[in-house]
Amino acid sequence: MSIKGILEAVKGCQKEEIRMDVIANNLANSAVPGFKRDRVSFQNFLTQAISASLVRIKVDMAQGDLRFTGNQLDLAINGPGFFKVNTPDGIRYTRKGNFNLDAAGNLVTSEGYSVLGKGGAINIGKGMVSVDEVGRILVDGEEVDQVDIVTFTDPSGLIKTGEALFKKPEALEEEAIGPETAIRQGYIEGSNVNVAEEMVQMIHSLRAFESYQRALKTLDHLDNKATNEVARLR
Predicted confidence band at 234 (pLDDT cuts at 50, 70, 90)?
low
Q: Give tens-digit pLDDT for 105-128.
A: 999 999 999 999 999 999 998 889
Please check whether residues 15 and 116 belong to one and the same domain. Answer: no
pLDDT surpasses 60 at 70: yes
Distances (CA, A) of 205 to 17, 22, 24, 125: 8, 11, 11, 51
pLDDT surpasses 80 at 76: yes
pLDDT surpasses 70 at 222: no
Single-letter code of the amino acid located at 72: Q
pLDDT surpasses 90 at 69: yes
3-state DSSP percent of the chain in helix, strand and coil, to 5: 30, 35, 35
Please check whether residues 202 and 162 belong to one and the same domain. Answer: no
Please check whether residues 27 and 126 belong to one and the same domain. Answer: no
User: From the CA atom positions of the chain, what is the Rg in Å?
Assistant: 25
Buried residues in 182-196 as b, exposed as e (16+ CB within 10 A): ebbbbbbbbbbbeee
Higher pLDDT among residues 70 and 224, named by residue: 70
Residue 28's domain spans which residues?
4-60+193-233
What is the CA angle 54-168-73, rounded to 5?
125
Please check whether residues 49 and 88 belong to one and the same domain. Answer: no
Q: Which residues on adjacent β-strands are paired with residue 183?
A: 77
Single-letter code of the amino acid located at 22: V
When divided into structural domains, the chain yields a total of 2
CATH of the domain at 229: 1.10.287
Please check whether residues 148 and 90 belong to one and the same domain. Answer: yes
Question: For the whole model, what pTM was predicted?
Answer: 0.83
Nearest residue to 149 via CA among 163, 164, 137, 162: 137
Query: 43-52, 173-182, 198-207: lowest mean pLDDT where?
Result: 43-52
Please check whether residues 78 and 175 belong to one and the same domain. Answer: yes
Please check whether residues 120 and 184 belong to one and the same domain. Answer: yes
DSSP letters spanning 6-17? HHHHHHHHHHHH
Please check whether residues 155 and 75 belong to one and the same domain. Answer: yes
Please check whether residues 124 and 212 belong to one and the same domain. Answer: no
Please check whether residues 121 and 52 belong to one and the same domain. Answer: no
pLDDT surpasses 90 at 80: yes
Q: How far is CA 166 from the centre of its chain?
A: 9
Higher pLDDT among residues 15 and 43, named by residue: 15
The alpha carbon torsion through 217, 221, 224, 229 (nearest 10 deg) reads -170
Asked if residues 146 and 84 have their Cβ atoms less than 8 Å apart, the reply is no
Q: What mean pLDDT value characterizes the chain?
A: 89
pLDDT surpasses 90 at 98: yes
- The answer for residues whose C-beta is within 8 angstroms of residue 47's C-beta and 6 or more apart is none
Please check whether residues 86 and 152 belong to one and the same domain. Answer: yes
Predicted confidence band at 228 (pLDDT cuts at 50, 70, 90)?
low
pLDDT surpasses 50 at 49: no
Predicted confidence band at 229 (pLDDT cuts at 50, 70, 90)?
low
Give the mean model confidence (pLDDT) for residues 127-149.
96
Give the mean model confidence (pLDDT) for residues 182-199.
97
pLDDT of residue 1: 45
- Residue 27 CA to residue 144 CA, distance in Å, equals 39
Q: Which residues on adjacent β-strands are paired with residue 52?
A: 45
Q: Can you count the helices (H) and strands (E) in the chain?
A: 2, 19
Give the mean model confidence (pLDDT) for residues 11-19.
87
Residues 86, 90, 91, 95, CA torsion sign: negative
Please check whether residues 154 and 128 belong to one and the same domain. Answer: yes
